[in-house]
Amino acid sequence: FTPPVIYSLENRQKLVYLVEARPEGDAGPLQPGQIVDVDLADSAR
């Protein structure tokens, strides 16, 4: 089975998702429009 869309490191710059995230640790200041990687934490809401 091959999904209809394959997400890879090569095409991720074309993908945009709106997320709300909080930087951890020594993350420097973020700028509007800055590209970042976000890891999802396992948290119960």
Query: What would the pLDDT profile of 6-44 be if each residue is shown by its tens digit?
Result: 667 777 677 777 778 888 888 888 888 787 878 877 765
Closest of 40, 33, 32, 29 to residue 13, by C-alpha: 33
Strand, coil or helix: 1:
coil
Closest of 24, 44, 17 to residue 35, by C-alpha: 17
- pLDDT level of residue 45 (50, 70, 90 thresholds): low
